[in-house]
Amino acid sequence: MPDPRSDRFVRSHLKTRHLVLLVELGRHGSIMHAAQAANLTQPAASKLLGELEHALGVQLFERLPRGVAPTWYGQVLIRRAGAALAEMDAAHQEVMELLSGLRGRVDVGTVLTPSTSLVPEAVNLLKSRHARVHVSITVDTSKILVQRLRAGELDLVVGRILDTGAASELYFEPVTDEPHSLIVRAGHPLAERTDLTLDELARQGWILPPNGSILRDRLTALFLARGLEPPAETVETLALPVIAHLLTGSDMVVALPLELAQPYLQTGLLTVLPFDLNIRMDMYGIITRRHHQLSPGAESMLATMREVAALRYPPSQAI
């Protein structure tokens, strides 16, 4: 049974300074440094933390010889406190924008492929209808973007839900998947080969996404399943212009969706190797938080994203 003290405390006594302290403790791992960041004295910070733990009836932080570390309960509170503070900042921002005659702000996160197609098309359409909506776009991996979405730092994400434990907090609208091809520079020594083997490819230099990305994991699994060591000569990046420059100036190889590489393929700078990786990514989609009311600007962005996605990827082509 939940302790009724915690409900009374949360509703009647929990203040912004408690939330700020939680976030700073998670960030610094030190009561002294967290107190400084929250403009509190160290005794005041210790007292606030003690109040929280007493009211909730659980230990939020483990006291270590040098600092503190959040327990499982503490991690939950830190995440929720961060989201609550982000909501308060967003509310203030909305009020200021309305007072100044603007139409709001929306923060969008996206994985690489839709960042070159779906997202910019949706933003252009949104701006043609609501020129004063300010749009911020972050390109990163799904894991990081979803973490920021759950923390309230992003309004919506075009990506994948990789953490099944977070699925209950999120709403996912599928868009499409991403068959990948091997891309190299025009004139690459392997470009005319029709008998390529994975063993030969493993000895090439590769451009790879960062560790923890689903493509990186699947490429590694592909090599290991064939008894091969993953490529030793690698460069990690998600930046498409950097990828294109690396390819055109070397014999490196990269796995990309054709949709992403199409502009470079059409100009003849890059070409596709005649080798089927047989790798398909999990479907990506539009991700929002459940039971969360979007701002008017974010609602407009979401509606526009759905509209563009339906045109680019009709249901018959989305699987």
Domain spans of the chain, in order of start: 4-80, 102-177+283-317, 180-272
Mean of pLDDT values over 270-275 = 93
Q: Are strands 270-272 and 156-159 parallel, antiparallel or unpaired?
A: unpaired
Q: Bridge-partner residues for 179, per DSSP?
A: 280
pLDDT beyond 70 at 170: yes
Greater pLDDT, 161 or 12:
161
Mean pLDDT for the chain overall: 87
Instruction: Say if pTM beats, i.e. exceeds, 0.95.
Output: no
Phi-psi region of 291 (alpha: psi -120 to 50; beta: other; left: phi over 0): left
CATH code matching the domain that covers 180-272, chosen among 3.40.190.10, 3.20.20.80, 3.40.50.2020, 1.10.10.60:
3.40.190.10
Q: How sure is the predictor about 102, in pLDDT bands with cuts at 50, 70 and 90?
A: very low
120: which 2 tokens? 């910019």
Indicate if the pLDDT at residue 263 is higher than 50: yes
Average pLDDT in the 173-192 region?
Answer: 91
- Please tell me the CATH superfamily of domain 102-177+283-317, with its number: Periplasmic binding protein-like II (3.40.190.10)
- pLDDT category at 25 given cuts 50, 70, 90 is very high
Architecture of the 4-80 domain: Orthogonal Bundle (1.10)
**Same fold flag, 102-177+283-317 and 180-272:** yes
